[in-house]
Structure 1
Amino acid sequence: MSTIEVLAQTLSQYLPHEQVATVKRAYYYAEQAHDGQKRKSGEHYVTHPLAVAFILADLRMDCEGLTAALLHDVIEDTGISRESLAEQFGEGVAGLVDGVSKLTHLEFNSQLEKQAHNFQKMAMAMADDIRVIMVKLADRLHNMRTLDAMPGHKKRRIARETLDIYAPIANRLGMYDVKVDLESLAFEAYYPMRARMLKRAINKRYGQREKAMQKLEDFIRSELAADYIDATISVREKHTYSIYQKMHKKRRSLEEIMDVMGVRIVTDRQDSCYRILGVIHALFKPIEGRFKDYIAVPKSNGYQSLHTTVVGNNGLPLEVQIRTQEMDMVAINGIAAHWTYKSQGQAITTATNHERATKWVKSLLEIQEKAHNPMEFIDNVKSDLFPDEVYVFTPKGEIIELPSGATPVDFAYGVHTEIGNTCISCRINRRLAPLSTQLESGQTVEVITAKSAQPNVAWLSFAITGKARTNIRHYLKSKQRENAISFGYRLLTRSLNAFRTTVEELTDEQIQVVLASHHLENMDDLLESIGKGRHVGYVVARQLFPNFNEDELITPKSLKVNGSEGMLISYAKCCSPIPGDPIVGYVQVDKGVIIHHQSCPNIQDHLANPERYIRMTWSKEIEEELNVSLIVSYMNERGAVAKIASSITDTDFQVSNLDIIERGKISRLRLNIAISSRVGLADVMRRIKAVRCVEKVTRETLVSR
């Protein structure tokens, strides 16, 4: 059984004596703090932090990280405070422990919300010190190794959380061995039957493989030696969850998976990697389209290697990975290789990998700052945890890494937030392309911006990176509040006109009474609420002047629609009003003002709330195009529909839809057209009536649907 003395012996291989002593002192401190506590398995609780420290010792973690690992549950599970830890072991250790600790003093609506809060707090701590996530990953790995002691429902929840969050984080940080262990354990816990059946199928297809693997290894070694290439060769089997994922996502059978078996070749120099690739392709037939050069273009987590898939001697696909010793260390340990090099006193050649990880964590912090709640934050982060990267170039030749399926909008935000906020179009390989185009590796992307441009809500349907989606949502919510305040001001001003006053003439006492009655903090909150329809301007005005004589009220002026209100004004689909129509507005909660045609029968349904009605008129400057439906009755003769459609093709108006709603000797069709005024509508109707086969043209707003 592992003890603190065994751990100390391991640590003495790379840490000075006084630091080993500090780690031992942390163990005895944790042992005393957790005295009397036991795990579900019945073991003393301190065996868990000790096991976490062993995992980190294998990764050559430094003294502070190991100390924090031994103490990581002290704040959460015992009465010891952060301040006490800082006094005993320093602020650095206390900060790490606090970052790893879960939230325990807040009430949550659901387990999912609790998970989101915990991860949000951890991400913020990671931005200060990347070792927080390494301790957390080691903690989760040991918990997964001892998961059998937990009841079934908890086992499944923890396994799902591991697959959703922790294994992808380990992958994002390049910690391959930790990722594989987490995925394998979680897969067996969450899908026990699938795991057993898949293992059985692999054994059946690739049975008796130990001798074959050794034979293959010896064959490749002898061929490389003949070319005077020194390399270490290992033949491996891809782990079960990775095979399952490929089968599940790509809807393929086990026979169609290309890389169940793999060969890893590790050599001394980068140029030897390409020489080895030539030897492999001479020995085995390469499978077209299965070569990837991650040495020239590393993955976002710093991973570098040559990948090729060839047909083995037994006719089965074989994946070959070729890399240097340093690349291998980074591939296995990822960011943890940074501490390995430090502990060996070597030049830290993994600095780039460390910088990549730190940059990613910093981007998490930016997402966190702009996300409006933890659920939105974790939703956006998940898209960054499953990258399957594409690599595209800026016009200056810099490489930008993006997840598979990313678009120019993701690229723009990847370069800089301000470029994303002001982009209007793009060029891909010097050709204009839509912002919704999915990017492919090797393309050169140029973003075209304009100072007056702003994010569009439609971008959320195709932007996939957490940074892009968070910034778009943040901008839209900020802009929506700004528009709502402005529109609310107009609505309240109009209502106050009836009381012969203005917003500016209100006293602080009047405002505070209304704010208190609606539990709002300031005037902007009240105006936003009015703008969004949560409160009615007239009702608020009445509260501001409770003793005003009804007989002295004057009729407020009509509110003008100018088209700049954004989502705070919408147009009823039941009657499709257009500029020039007589209109009335109805205030609806969280939808602002909905404009109806004055003759629309549906507004009669709202007469029970007359205070929500607003007299409205169109501004002379409005140029907004709105949809209107026309019902056309025509003689059913050959080419009639084509003649009707062509009658308006030389106008500026766009036909968005055409439906035949009744067939017969006299047929009827519905035309949906974008119109900006009644004058334009009259012109269109006149053109359609001029078609010889047309009997009648009626606007659908004025007939029953």
Structure 2
Amino acid sequence: MYPADDLVELIRAYNPKSNSDLIRRAYDFGRDMHDGQFRHSGEPYFTHPIEVSQILAEQHLDDATIITALLHDTIEDTKASYSAVEEMFGNEVAMLVDGVTKLTNLQLSSTETKQAENFRKLFMAMSKDLRVILVKLADRLHNMRTIRAMRPEKQQVKARETMDIYAPLAGRMGMQWMRDELEDLAFKVLNPEGRASIMRRFITLQKETGDVIGRITDDMRYELEKAEIDAKVVGRAKKPYSIWRKMQEKEQGFSRLSDIYGFRIITANENDCYRVLGAIHQRWRAVPGRFKDYISQPKTNGYRSIHTTVSGRDGKRVEVQIRTQQMHDVAETGVAAHWSYKDGVRGENPFAVDPVKWISSLTEQFNAEDDHDEFLEAVKLEMYSDQVFCFTPKGDVVKLPRGATPLDFAYAIHTRIGNACVGAKVDHLRVPLWTRIKNGQSVEIITAEGQMPQATWLDIATTGKAKSAIRRALREVDRDRFIRLGRELARAGFENLGKKATDRVLDLAATQLRLKDRNELLARMGSAELTAHEVVQAVYPDLAPDVSEGIASERAVIGLSPEQRFQRAPCCEPLPGERIIGITYRGEGVVVHAIDCDALSNYEDQPERWIDLHWQAGQHQSIYGVTLELTIGNDAGVLGRICTLIGEHKANISDLEFVDRKPDFYRLHINAELRDAEHLHSLMLALQAESDVAQVERLRDPSKARQSAKPQP
């Protein structure tokens, strides 16, 4: 176990003013609290907090962060309490330890809704004190370094969580070294064969070409000495996962991948950065489109550097990063540079970003999100983004993720401008809205009064902020449409009983169903979340028709043994009145197909699985869904009339999906719940008779035959 004195010396090396006694006390307290606890590897548990504190000490962080690392599992896993930690080590440390404890309890890889909510909590914790996430990242790094002691299934969960959440978060915070290591450790678990393959190819390449890194490093040093520039040159091969990702993105094999080496040049001052760039470009040919100047346009996390890619020795592409020592310190520690010490003095690095401003800019756009999935998508989009810098016509700089479009630019300026966008000019030339913006371009947004976001914009926008704003606007438009459609459905439903769907009746139904108001009720009816029958029954429970009348679903099919269950095949959706065949599944019952279903050809060589079935004679319930594909005119009120017509034919709409929207027509899929084949025939005849319906067909999808679904009782 790493002794307390060694940890103290490691910290005092960069911070002689460190409170060594307090650190020793924290060490002793943590060791005593974890006494008798062991890790999966069999080591004493306290070796883990020590290793986490070492990782943070190597980043030259302050005493409070180091002490938090030593104590970060005490409140959760031992008898220690918040008040005890606060009494011994102060309020600042107690709050940090409590924050790390709460983060540990977040299951970030759980279901989408819960994951989104936990992401919110993660960002809230970060906004209070960013050091909480620094400790958590170091905690995850050590756990990944020792992950082999865990069960294989647990390794997979942790590695995926690391790849999806913690590695991008480290990169977003500017801690690129940590992101690289986290990704590589997760890659080793998730795809050990892929990583081993790249490592083998690296070894083979080194045997064939020798020390390429050493030769290129010497060449660069020679050019810099010739230009009388004092700078340090460091070369490295890129991490296996970084190479794997490039292979996937470019769809190239290892042998065709050229830029697998990276070089870093550290200069004495900013002017020398540009002198180095000139010397490198004079000696080697620059690769077009691979130059980025993050010194004049720094990233939001404070990162500054010049990036260029050149064709080096033997035509091999190499990436070169040029920066000063201060810029390098921020590049290594990112936002954490705000708390770092050097020679006993809190870092006064002019390039270190204010963590409060940084986290505010990161979380601001997520606060308005009500929808869990949208929040999660926005977070992940922003976490994985790289940046481009473009300009407004007035010369103001706008930072956007790589691949951003003029729509993203418009929403970055203001939601109102984004919603009213009708076109864009890039470098004074009119361009389509799906154009990808490049570094340094000037973008002008053309707006028009009355313009509203289009559904197709969701495919054009790339930023979380733009997508969220578009969805909000579309929801408002859809809400009005759903309310109008719901009113038509309610009118038809109540008229079937000889009643009227007055505002008073709808208000009463909303109250009975515990909804906010009648508009909420109508919107839910229009979006098929509520059926007209449910609304009618809420107001007139004695008058509403009993939908349970008719043959019960469990008695609908004849030919099954008593213990067998059945389910209608989703590929052909057979209805009572149609000839049917059953296909048996071991332990899952029987799937019922229409006799003419194309999917039955898959079972021709398995006759023992076929069962001759037929529907029970008599009146069936209207519970059998059939998908209809309709092409209807794009005119006001058409959809409402279609839905009313379906309701009048005693069919319930269980789902409605637009599959194509054109200026003059809509194509949509409607899933209607019907009694039998005769019911379907009469409904399709009625729809075909409508002048606004250009085409109506029963939709059958053979591909759904491959979907695994357990039969219902």
1:47 aligns with 2:47: yes
Secondary structure at the aligned position of 2:235 is classed as strand
Q: What is the rounded CA distance, in whole Å, between the counterparts of 1:703 and 1:325 in structure 2?
A: 69
Task: Specify the alignment match of 2:139 in structure 1.
Answer: 139
Q: Is the 8 A contact 1:232 1:267 kept in 2?
A: yes
Map of 1:609 onto structure 2: 650
Q: Report the identity percentage.
A: 38
Mapped to 1, the partners of 2:106 and 2:292 lie a distance apart of 47
Matched residue SS, 1:397: coil
Match of 1:652 in 2: none
Aligned length: 586
Equivalent in 507, 525, 528 of residue 523 of structure 2:
528
Letter in 1 for 2:525: I
2: CA distance between counterparts of 1:548 and 1:315? 84
* Cross-structure match for 1:466: 464
Matched, 1:412 2:410: yes
User: Which stretch has the larger CA shift, 77-86 or 388-397?
Assistant: 77-86
1:268 is aligned to: 268
Residues 174 and 330, structure 2, Cα contact 8 Å, conserved in 1: yes
Asked if structure 2 preserves the Cα contact closer than 8 Å seen for 1:126 and 1:361, the reply is: no
TM-score, with length taken from structure 2? 0.71
Q: Which residue of 2 aligns with 1:349?
A: 350
C-alpha separation in 2, matches of 1:234 and 1:197: 26
Alignment of 1:647-658 (within 5 A): none
Matched, 1:60 2:109: no
For residues 159 and 128 of structure 2, the distance between their equivalents in structure 1, rounded to whole angstroms, comes to: 28
- Partner-residue secondary structure (3-state), 1:457: coil
> Structure 2, unaligned stretches of length 5 or more?
546-626, 655-661, 668-689, 700-713
1:244-271 alpha-carbon deviations (Å, 9 max, x no partner) = 2112210123333332233322111111
Distance in 2 between residues matched to 1:305 and 1:89, nearest whole Å? 39
Letter in 1 for 2:345: Q
Q: Residue 465 of structure 2 aligns to which amino acid in structure 1? A: K
1:594 equivalent to 2:643? Answer: yes
- Inter-partner Cα distance in structure 2 for 1:528 and 1:278: 63
Where do residues 439-478 of structure 1 align in structure 2 (5 Å cutoff)? 439-450=437-448, 452-477=450-475
Q: Which amino acid is 1:400 matched to?
A: V
Task: Check conservation: 1:235, 1:261, Cα contact below 8 A.
Answer: yes
User: Distance in 1 between the 2:250 and 2:25 partners?
Assistant: 51
- State the distance in 1 between where 2:112 and 2:542 align: 50
Aligned partner of 1:191 in structure 2 is: 191
CA distance in 1, matches of 2:215, 2:19: 46
1:467-506 matches, cutoff 5 A:
467-477=465-475, 480-481=478-479, 484-485=482-483, 488=486, 499=499, 502-504=502-504
CA distance in 2, matches of 1:353, 1:362: 15
AA partner of residue 468 (structure 2): T
Map 1:314-325 onto structure 2 (within 5 A). 314-325=314-325
Indicate how the Cα distance of structure 1 residues 422 and 377 shifts in structure 2: closer, same or farther if over 3 A, else same.
same
* Matched residue, 1:22: 22
Partner of 1:171: 171
Q: Answer yes or no: is 1:402 the counterpart of 2:403.
A: no
Work out whether 1:370 is the aligned partner of 2:426: no
Q: Secondary structure at the match of 2:234?
A: strand
Judging changes above 3 Å, is the alpha-carbon distance between structure 1 residues 266 and 170 closer, same or farther for their aligned structure 2 residues? same
Q: Return the letter of the residue paired with 2:398.
A: I
Q: 1:64, CA displacement in angstroms?
A: 2.6
Give deviations 1:46-67, integer Å, cap 9, x for gaps.
Answer: 2212211111111122233223
In structure 2, how many angstroms separate the alpha carbons of the residues matched to 1:549 and 1:205?
78
What is the letter of the counterpart of residue 243 of structure 2? I
Change beyond 3 A, Cα 1:506–1:211: closer
Distance 2:377 2:666 in 1: 38
Q: Which runs of 5+ in 1 are unaligned?
A: 551-570, 587-592, 597-602, 614-623, 630-676, 682-698
**CA spacing shift, 1:217–1:81, aligned 2, 3 Å:** same
Question: What amino acid does structure 2 have at the position aligned with 1:609?
Answer: K
Q: What is the TM-score when the length of structure 1 is the normalising length?
A: 0.72
SS of the residue 2:245 aligns to: helix
AA matched with 1:361: L
Q: Find the aligned partners of 1:511 and 1:312 in 2 and give their Cα distance.
A: 72
CA-CA distance at 1:356 after TM superposition: 6.9
Specify whether residues 704 and 103 from structure 1 end up closer, same or farther in structure 2 by C-alpha distance, changes over 3 A only. Answer: closer
Asked whether the 8 Å contact 1:367–1:377 carries over to 2, the reply is yes
Q: What secondary structure does 1:396 align onto?
A: coil
Cα deviation 1:493-541 (Å, max 9, x = unaligned): 7877954784348897x864x23xxx54665543433343443557635
Q: Is the 8 A contact 2:455 2:474 kept in 1?
A: yes
Aligned to 1:242: 242
8 Å CA contact retained: 1:122, 1:132: no
Q: 1:579 to 1:371 in 2, by over 3 A?
A: closer
Partner of 1:540: 535
> Shift of residue 142 of structure 1?
0.4
Aligned letter for 2:12?
S
Q: Deviations over 1:176-221 (max 9, x none)?
A: 2112211222222222222222112112213387866445444543
Counterpart of 1:627, as a letter, is F
List aligned pairs for 1:97-116, cutoff 5 A: 97-101=97-101, 110=110, 116=116
Give 1:430 shift. Answer: 2.5
Deviation at 1:143, TM superposition (A): 0.7
Q: Distance in 2 between matches of 1:4 and 1:336?
A: 24
2:278 maps to which residue? 278
Structure-to-structure mapping, 1:433-444, within 5 angstroms: 433-444=431-442
Pairwise CA distance, 1:459: 1.5
Change in 2 beyond 3 A, CA 1:154/1:417: same
Give 1:160 shift. 2.2
AA aligned to 2:274 is Y
Q: Which residue of 1 aligns with 2:670?
A: none
Equivalent in 378, 381, 398 of residue 380 of structure 1:
378
- SS, match of residue 138 in structure 2: helix
Structure 1 pair 120–393 and aligned structure 2 pair: CA distance change class (3 A): same
- Following TM superposition, by how much is the alpha carbon of 1:78 offset from its aligned partner in structure 2, in angstroms? 3.8
Partner of 1:332: 332
Partners of 1:595 and 1:501 in 2: CA distance: 14
Contact 1:258 1:319 in 2 (8 A): no
Q: Which amino acid in the other structure matches residue 521 of structure 2?
A: L
Larger deviation, residues 326-335 vs 116-125: 116-125
How far 1:465 sits from its partner (Å)? 1.3
Q: CA contact under 8 A between 1:270 and 1:324: conserved in structure 2?
A: yes
- Partner residue in 2 for 1:157: 157
Q: Is the 8 A contact 2:633 2:694 kept in 1?
A: no
Instruction: Measure the CA separation in 2 of the matches of 1:196 and 1:109.
Output: 27
